[in-house]
Each structure stands twice: as C-alpha cells, then as structure tokens.
C-alpha cells in the first residue's frame, strides 16, 4: 500500500466482534482525482474514527477502538455505511454540493441503511485543506441523520473548495481532526 506524507492514520486495523472479523481496509488512505474544465485536482483522502465509531447509540457494540487520541465504541450502523464512503467521495465532482458552516463542511445524500433496509438521509462531514503541498480531504464523520436537515440555500462544488485550499498560505493550520491517529 502506498504511504503518503501526511499527518493522519493511513490504515485502520480490523476488529473482532462475536468471533467475526470486520475489515476496515476500505478506510485506508487513497488518492482521488477530480478533472474540472480549467484544472485537475488530486487529493489524498483519509478517514477518521467517527466514520465507524460512536458511543452509546442503538447500534453501538461493546467493542472499543482507539485512534490514539480517543477511544469509542464501534457502531455497526456507521461501520456498514463506511463501506460506501470511498465510492461516494470519489464522485464528489458529480452533482454533489458541499455545504459549509463555521465549524464544518459537509454534504448529504440518500442511502439504504444496511441494517434496516430503509432509505435514509446521510451526512458526511469533512475537512479540505493543503498539507505538505498535497490537497487533502479528511472525512471526519459519516452517519444517518435522524433529525430534519435544513440545508443552506447554496452550496459549493469540490472545485471551488479545491481552488480555495490550493490558494491557502503555506503555513495554514491543519485541522486537528486530521492529525489524530
């Protein structure tokens, strides 16, 4: 597996639950390329603990996982959703608008919950930044949204966000979420 020069966990080890091994290789760092009309953007994509772990939820199990910063319970609902995140992120350049608040960037979409079989709204939270001259997307969290989501009136394309990240000064701060583990 390729090793990237970034400050983030690049590979997640499998975990065991009730004698079954649950693989997390799908959350290993990888590259994604978005080709725009004027420029091509190559990102390194990494994933955080909250993509598959959440304490004290309906589908949380008594298996704990650490990213060397915090320890959380594995959440099987989030784990099953995490298997689809990579493919969804690889299509960020097609029709997905990212929304931005003062604290996060995120996007929402509809997806079938593997545990219930129901179509539900999902939310993926991410950081986009430049680190060591590499553009980065760090997925901080992914989950099914159970409350009403009021989306802002306008969103941003991955190309606008990439252009803004590319222009950031050399010493711009790396989000602390992306340096864990």
Q: Is residue 40 part of a domain?
A: yes
The residues that bridge with 171 in the sheet, in sequence order, are: none
Q: Quote the distance between the C-alpha of residue 5 and its chain's center.
A: 19
Closest of 13, 43, 42 to residue 27, by C-alpha? 13
Give a yes or no: residue 180 inside a domain: no
Domain count of the fold of the chain: 1
The Cα 141–Cα 82 span in angstroms is 9
Residue 142 within any structural domain of the chain: yes
Is the residue at 7 inside a domain? Answer: no
Q: What is the mean pLDDT of the chain?
A: 88
Q: Is residue 88 scored above 90 in pLDDT?
A: yes
> Does some domain include residue 179?
no
Give the other-Cβ count within 10 Å of 176's Cβ.
Answer: 10
What would the pLDDT profile of 99-156 be if each residue is shown by its tens digit?
A: 877 667 888 889 999 999 999 999 999 999 888 888 999 999 999 998 876 777 778 8
Please spell the DSSP secondary structure of 23-45, one letter per residue.
--GGGS-EEEEEE-SS-EEEEEE
Give the whole-angstrom CA distance, residue 48 versus residue 180. Answer: 8
Nearest to 144 by CA among 100, 99, 98, 110: 110
Exposed/middle/buried for residue 87 (C-beta within 10 Å: 0-12, 13-18, 19+): exposed
- Structure pTM? 0.90
Whether 3 maps to a domain, the answer reads no
Residue at 94 is within a domain: yes
pLDDT tens, 40-62? 999 999 999 999 999 999 999 99
Structural domain that includes position 97: 20-171
């Amino acid at each position: 597996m390729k090793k990237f020069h970034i400050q983030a966990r690049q590979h997640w080890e499998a975990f065991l639950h009730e004698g079954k091994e649950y693989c997390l290789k799908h959350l290993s760092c990888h590259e994604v390329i978005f080709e725009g009309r004027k420029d091509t953007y190559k990102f390194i994509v990494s994933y955080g603990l909250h993509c598959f772990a959440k304490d004290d939820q309906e589908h949380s199990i008594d298996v704990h996982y650490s990213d060397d910063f915090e320890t959380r319970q594995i959440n099987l609902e989030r784990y099953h959703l995490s298997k689809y995140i990579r493919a969804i992120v690889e299509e960020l350049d097609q029709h997905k608008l990212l929304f931005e608040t003062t604290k996060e960037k995120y996007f929402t979409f509809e997806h079938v919950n593997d545990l219930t079989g129901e179509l539900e709204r999902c939310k993926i939270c991410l950081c986009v930044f430049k680190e060591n001259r590499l553009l980065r997307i760090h997925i901080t969290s992914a989950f099914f949204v159970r409350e009403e989501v009021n989306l802002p009136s306008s969103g941003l394309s991955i190309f606008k966000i990439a252009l803004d990240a590319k222009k950031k000064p050399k010493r711009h701060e790396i989000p602390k979420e992306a340096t864990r583990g």
